Amino acid sequence: MSEDSATPPKNGMAPQKVLGIFALAMINVAAVLSIRNFPSMAVYGWECIGWYIIGTVLFLIPISLAGAELATMLADKDGGVYAWCKEAFGEKGGFTAIFCEWSNNLVWFPTVLAFIASTLAFAISPDLASNPVYLFVVMMIAFWGTTAVAYFGENVSSKFQNYGVILGSIIPSILIIGLGVYWSLSGAAIVLPPFSLGEIVPTLDLSTLPFFATVILLFAGMEMAGFHALETKNPKTDFPKAMAISAVIIFFCTVMATLAIAFVIPADQLNLAAGVMQAIEYFFTALNIPGAIAPMAVLITIGGVVSLAAWLIGPAKGLGVVANEGNMPPLFNRTNKYGSPVAVLVIQALIGTFISLLYVFLPSVNQAYWMLSAMTVELLCIVYILIFAALIKLRYSKPDAPRPFKIPGGIPGIWLIGGMGAFGVIFAFVVGLMPTGDFTSAEAVSYTLGVLLGTFLLAVPPLIFLKMKKPGWIVSGTKEG
């Protein structure tokens, strides 16, 4: 192991071993399985199968296998992707990986919060979905409420995610799948053309290339369980099983639920829909069960909150480990008696609140926000490029390190899996720089340069912190009572 490997927390209580296979799998499912993606993918009809296969081969399978190997190899290290990349590339690599994952959340939070608020409106009054005051109030309740759950540590947050992901992601997905099966068996017309192998082949051209980045990152979040290594009962055996279970659940629910929606709703209706609940409303009205719309809205809202929790807690824990090792100012190195990084949680909540305020009350910033959203894609790509690079490098630099789960095939096998994942992510990074239709051709160059500059500014702080690093930072952390 490297000399600067992660050490147990110096503040707060020692982590409790409370997570088993089911809890770890649900953390990944909560982070990845998102019903709000189903309508946008259903637009492509049978082609969605081909797109999902591309995402599975070039990302879901590689990141699941990479996560299983790295998590079991470094099961005694806290920090998730920070520990993995640090072991391979030192503090700069590890710090950059975790900071990019954390900073991308700051812009992503408002989008998922807006989804939560607008979805809940369908259980109360759909007109509220366009009311900025309602949106902001519900967004803040969800954001700060989830932050409060994270405050009470792994025992509480894992239970919240376990129950929440079942209620808010798995059950709604199964209901949609079941209703799609019922629709097809009842003899009702399926709006898709007859199935053939040719129908599932994606159309690859300049107009669909930007969509490639979206498809790859549909499965982003499979590494979330890795942030909880020190709270896992039997990490060496539980991580691989949890990765496999979560990957199967995510792939099955995603593909089948997307097809169920595509069976019922014409593509032009999906194109015009403003969000997932418009599609759900159409779906249940077509099935003559409009009374199910409000309960489904509540369940999907729960799913959104649980997804928020997984992304809110995981990277915050990783950044807390960075601060605990003295790589950030003492302000960030504050934990409570439950071992939660309260300073990081509060800082990200304050920043997220400010961006949410702009998002809700200043809709004129749409182009700037599109650029910020593109930056989140680029930042995530940096994270995953470092993960796959770390997977390959550690096979060379630490060939004899114990690996309870080891990707089969030796060096060729590791290059195949790591290479496929790296190729998919690098390609997603490149096409992610392509501007959307909201920008004219004259604005395209400035858009691309703006995204690159913004990505650089959001990725460079670790190098600045390490340059400013002081010996006193490592012992200056404080603990709340």
Question: Which amino acid would we find at residue 224?
Answer: M
> In percent, how much of the chain has pLDDT > 90?
32
Q: Bridge partners of 479? A: 335
Count of domains observed in the chain: 1
DSSP summary character for residue 75: T
Cα 213 versus chain centre, distance:
14
Does residue 406 lie within any of the structural domains? yes
Please give the Cα distance from 240 to 28 (Å, whole number). Answer: 12
Does residue 481 lie within any of the structural domains? no
Does residue 264 lie within any of the structural domains? yes
Higher-pLDDT residue of 105, 8: 105
pLDDT reported for residue 17:
66
pLDDT at 78 exceeding the cut of 80: no
Does residue 113 lie within any of the structural domains? yes
pLDDT reported for residue 12:
45
Does residue 474 lie within any of the structural domains? no
Does residue 4 lie within any of the structural domains? no
Does residue 54 lie within any of the structural domains? yes
Does residue 6 lie within any of the structural domains? no
pLDDT reported for residue 108:
84
The secondary structure element, H or E, covering residue 306 is helix 293-324
> Residue 338, SS3?
coil
Average pLDDT taken over every residue of the chain? 84
Query: Phi-psi bin for 334: left (phi > 0), alpha (psi -120 to 50), beta?
Result: beta
Mark out the alpha helices in 362-439 (DSSP H runs): 366-397, 410-431
Residues contacting residue 152 through CB under 8 Å, at least 6 positions apart: 338, 340
C-alpha to C-alpha distances, 181 to 158, 261, 262, 263, 467, nearest whole angstrom: 33, 10, 12, 9, 58
Higher-pLDDT residue of 157, 417: 417
Q: Bridge partners of 90? A: none
CATH number at residue 302: 1.20.1740.10
pLDDT band at 438 (very low <50, low <70, confident <90, very high): low
Which range marks the domain in which residue 272 is found? 21-469
Q: What is the DSSP string of 194-237?
A: PP-GGGGS---STTTHHHHHHHHGGGTTTTGGGGGGGGBSSHHH
pLDDT at 360 exceeding the cut of 70: yes
